[in-house]
Amino acid sequence: MLPPVRLSRFELVSCVQRIVGRHLDAGCCEPNETPSPARVDPREVLAYLRRHPAAESPDWVMRADAMDAQLLVVASTWDRWRSERYHLRGGLADGLFYDQMGAVLGLGRESHRRTENDPRPARRRRTGRGDPHQPARARLATLSDLLRHDDPNPDLSRGVRRENEVELEDPRWTWVIDHREQLGHVSYQLAAAAGRHGVTSRWVDELIADVDSDAVSPATPAVLGLAIAEVRTARAVVELTTTHAVHRILLTGEALRCQFSGIGCHAHWQSAPPPTDVASLVREIAHRRDRLGDSRLDHLPSPEVAEPAMVLAFLRRSPCTNRAARALDHLAGLQLCNALWWQDRAAELTALRAGLKIGSPRDVLRRQLGAVHAITRGQGVQDRFDRLAGLAEFGQPDEKQGREARRIRTAPANAEDHWVAANQAAIDQVAFALLSMTSALVVPEEEREWLDLLALERKDGTYTRSSLVTIAYAAEEVQAALGSGAKVPSIEVKKILDAVDALPTVKRIRAATNTVDYEL
């Protein structure tokens, strides 16, 4: 799976400038309420969009905001990956083991453990004697591959772009050389589309200048991203609701950028990490720093108002001088990355929900929303939204549990749970009939294990899906006792066994226990 597009800080600043300019022109907010592009934080801008939705603005402003919001979501994702890699590497340098850090991230042998308020689904305990360090080691390897060529602050001026010398050892140069023709084709097509729709863009001109001068370099995908963003959010283009040639060019360009971001790496849908109490974590950090007499403690945010990103910035700017305390700070940093994961997923869900409400299900906007995530179909965007909604409602982001969480159709196990919960009286009636029949039978104690279990479950008064298995095997014990010559009316027995077989799954279990004689 390809990672999302890799965003430079210049692209992020341009995104915020576009949002601020649109909102000021449309009168969505006051000038003093807009975020500052100079000290931009993608999470703060997403929070601003939630506080100031463009509901009363022209439709094109809402559509452009929805597309720029996905860029902010991607920027938050890359920022979290950088923080997690920083604390994993720092923890190893300060004496932590992989299994210690994996336990904090919800990886390894103890990943099945759940606290009382843990929103994640139950998971079976891992078995076997696998290496306890492997899950965290694999996570660090994946993050190292993702961020191997990460350069969040490149200089995109024309002179610096053209001073770059070709380095064939760098896989980015190899990729650019191999895709030079495709980059040129997309650039010319994008310039032609901008001209048809009357869009003037500085970065489209820069892109064409690089292609004409044969000065394509690893900085070209960033310039292509700036040009795509300007054309995609221009009013003349964003007002189009059906697929035009310009949309196909935009999707092709974003697909190339995702391929460039995925050089030598892959991304995957990360399972939900353990939830984090940020306030308690900040108090622990403050207590450690206070005991060590750290004069920088005043820069640590207050526990009541602390945001995970703010605390992570403090830990990176002000590392502790004591190695043992610094190791504990790295563990705290990984827990804060868990909190960021939940925060970013909630922000992405809100941004997608706002975007999917715009227009019809066949609106071209849906494909545009998924382009930065390497999603090429509108249905893929809907699937991502359903998966995120399932995470928020059930705590189930795993693809293996996607069918149930995304509500495409009810999973068989879930259907049985609902049926058992709705038919407690009918199950109790069948259990009572089976247990009443045993009074007329002579069943040795060593052969009535399932009947005794059924009696205990009936005494508790609550039946679950596993009770159906208990009833199935209890019926087998009753039928085995009937074969020993007990005097019980056959009509009554048949009625009870028919009632047992009418329960879900029971007939299949009973049939599986019967031996079959094959004639050779």
Place of tokens 């990886």: 107
pLDDT digits (tens, 9 = 90+) for 219-236: 999 999 999 999 999 999
Contacts of 1 (CB under 8 A, 6+ apart): 266, 267, 268, 269, 374
Measured from the Cβ of residue 9, the count of other Cβ atoms closer than 10 Å reads 14
Contacts of 475 (CB under 8 A, 6+ apart): 434, 497, 500, 506, 510
User: Encoding tokens for residue 422?
Assistant: 């709705």
How many secondary structure helices (H) and strands (E) does the chain include? Answer: 24, 0
Measured from the Cβ of residue 428, the count of other Cβ atoms closer than 10 Å reads 16
Distance (Å, whole) CA 187 – CA 205: 9
Handedness of CA 347, 348, 351, 352 (dihedral sign): negative
Task: Please enumerate, as own/partner, the contacts of 188-196 that have beta carbons within 8 Å and a separation of 24 or more.
Answer: 189/245, 189/249, 189/252, 190/224, 190/227, 190/228, 190/231, 190/249, 190/250, 190/253, 193/231, 193/237, 193/245, 193/246, 193/249, 194/231, 194/234, 196/246
Distance (Å, whole) CA 504 – CA 468: 8
Handedness of CA 168, 173, 212, 203 (dihedral sign): negative
Q: Please give the pLDDT value at position 279.
A: 93
Q: Please give the pLDDT value at position 231.
A: 95
Q: Please give the pLDDT value at position 416.
A: 72
Give pTM, 2 decimals.
0.74
Q: Please give the pLDDT value at position 457.
A: 84
Distance (Å, whole) CA 365 – CA 403: 25
Distance (Å, whole) CA 248 – CA 193: 10
Measured from the Cβ of residue 264, the count of other Cβ atoms closer than 10 Å reads 11
Q: Which amino acid, 486?
A: A
Distance (Å, whole) CA 294 – CA 288: 9
Question: What parts of the chain have a pLDDT lower than 70?
Answer: 126-130, 268-269, 392-415, 439-447, 482-492, 512-520
